[in-house]
């Protein structure tokens, strides 16, 4: 493949990623297209983005808040012309939007963090936060009960094929009430060992959320005098052993490092 063909391939891959993510940073696009986001790959993607900007297929906005504060990068999204190119290649913008300017205009820390996890995931078998929100994934929500009230939980991302991984992106501290809801959801989700969900994977993207694994472990570990029934104790032990993973996202390299509970 010559340089011209390679450049065209990079441009198409960027357009495909933006069509499912809504928007992305240079670093995220480098990781998604080239598999890593070091200085060299960011420069390569930078050339691709300048070409796309010149064609007016994408627009850019600088975002320096929250999750992007360290990197202070430009965020990119498809224009109407870029969305049309995506449709022509069989990857229409999420929800068949005409353009992604609104996604860029309302960019926020949590979605940016989710997009970082999306490109960091070790396989291509994953659905973005936008795809989940629009129902374009195998499991857009899960219904469970807590204190007699029916609640609905929405994943941040979903990965996998026959057996799914439910991904929770931890970009802020969870209060105890919210953590109790997570525990109730876990119990309902994994009560049936043949459930389509194999694991709930918590991905930490900020320092303040790093204790999520230890806090879950504390809530799911019970002694014989805890007051919980033997079936609940057994279920919680199985959840801890088989159905929970915790990783940290490196914001510089966009790689995942698993944490032990």
**95-122 per-position pLDDT tens digit:** 889 999 999 999 999 999 999 999 999 9
Per-residue confidence (pLDDT) for residue 63, from 0 to 100: 64
Domain membership of residue 116 (yes or no) is no
SS3 161: coil
Of 73, 107, 141, which marks where a domain is finished? Answer: 107
Both tokens of residue 136? 């374009």
Confidence at 153, pLDDT banded by 50, 70, 90: very high
Q: Could you give the CA distance from residue 144 to residue 148 in angstroms, rounded to a whole number?
A: 10
- Is residue 103 exposed (0-12), middle (13-18) or buried (19+ Cβ within 10 Å)? buried
SS3 1: coil
Asked if residue 183 lies in contact with residue 219, where contact means CB atoms within 8 angstroms, the answer is: yes
Per-residue confidence (pLDDT) for residue 162, from 0 to 100: 85
My answer on whether 101 and 143 are in the same domain is no
Domain membership of residue 117 (yes or no) is no
My answer on whether 99 and 163 are in the same domain is no
Per-residue confidence (pLDDT) for residue 9, from 0 to 100: 95
Average pLDDT, the chain: 93
My answer on whether 97 and 138 are in the same domain is no
Per-residue confidence (pLDDT) for residue 64, from 0 to 100: 53
- The number of folded domains in the chain is 2
My answer on whether 135 and 241 are in the same domain is yes
Q: Could you give the CA distance from residue 181 to residue 185 in angstroms, rounded to a whole number?
A: 6
Q: Of residues 49 and 73, which shows the higher confidence score?
A: 49
Of 50, 73, 107, which marks where a domain is finished? Answer: 107
Whether pLDDT at 236 is above 70 = yes
Per-residue confidence (pLDDT) for residue 231, from 0 to 100: 93
Domain membership of residue 122 (yes or no) is no
Q: Summarize pLDDT for 74-97 with one digit per residue, the tens.
A: 999 999 999 999 999 999 999 889
Dihedrals phi, psi of 18, to nearest 5 degrees:
-65, -30
Domain membership of residue 192 (yes or no) is yes
My answer on whether 154 and 80 are in the same domain is no
Whether pLDDT at 235 is above 90 = yes
My answer on whether 164 and 92 are in the same domain is no
My answer on whether 99 and 139 are in the same domain is no
Q: In which order are the strands placed within the sheet that holds 24-25?
A: 24-25, 74-78, 58-62
Per-residue confidence (pLDDT) for residue 241, from 0 to 100: 95
Identify the domain containing residue 237 by its residue range.
130-259
Per-residue pLDDT, averaged over 148-161, amounts to: 95
Of 107, 138, 172, which marks where a domain is finished? Answer: 107
Domain membership of residue 30 (yes or no) is yes
CATH of residue 71: 1.10.10.10
Per-residue confidence (pLDDT) for residue 70, from 0 to 100: 44
Domain membership of residue 218 (yes or no) is yes
Whether pLDDT at 192 is above 90 = no
Per-residue confidence (pLDDT) for residue 193, from 0 to 100: 79
Whether pLDDT at 72 is above 80 = no
Q: Could you give the CA distance from residue 168 to residue 34 in angstroms, rounded to a whole number?
A: 25
Q: Which residue has the tokens 């499991």?
A: 139
Domain membership of residue 112 (yes or no) is no
């Amino acid at each position: 493949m010559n340089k011209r063909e390679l450049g065209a391939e990079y441009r198409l891959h960027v357009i495909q990623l933006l069509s499912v993510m809504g928007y992305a940073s240079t670093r995220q696009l480098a990781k998604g297209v080239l598999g890593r986001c070091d200085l060299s790959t960011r420069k390569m993607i930078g050339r691709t983005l300048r070409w796309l900007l010149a064609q007016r297929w994408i627009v850019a906005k600088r975002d320096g808040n929250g999750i992007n504060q360290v990197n202070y990068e430009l965020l990119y999204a498809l224009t109407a012309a870029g969305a049309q190119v995506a449709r022509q290649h069989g990857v229409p913008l999420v929800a068949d939007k005409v353009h992604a300017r609104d996604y860029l205009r309302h960019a926020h820390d949590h979605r940016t963090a989710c997009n970082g996890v999306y490109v960091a995931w070790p396989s291509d078998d994953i659905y973005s936060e936008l795809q989940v929100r629009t129902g374009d994934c195998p499991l857009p929500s899960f219904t469970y009960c807590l204190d007699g009230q029916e609640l609905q939980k929405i994943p941040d991302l979903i990965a996998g094929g026959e057996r799914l991984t439910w991904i929770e992106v931890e970009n802020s501290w969870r209060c105890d009430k919210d953590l109790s809801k997570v525990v109730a959801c876990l119990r309902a989700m994994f009560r049936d060992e043949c459930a389509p969900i194999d694991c709930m994977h918590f991905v930490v993207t900020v320092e303040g959320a790093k204790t999520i694994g230890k806090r879950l472990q504390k809530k799911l570990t019970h002694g014989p005098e805890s007051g919980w029934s033997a079936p609940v104790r057994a279920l919680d032990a199985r959840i801890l052993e088989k159905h929970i993973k915790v990783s940290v996202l490196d914001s510089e390299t966009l790689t995942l490092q698993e944490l032990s509970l």
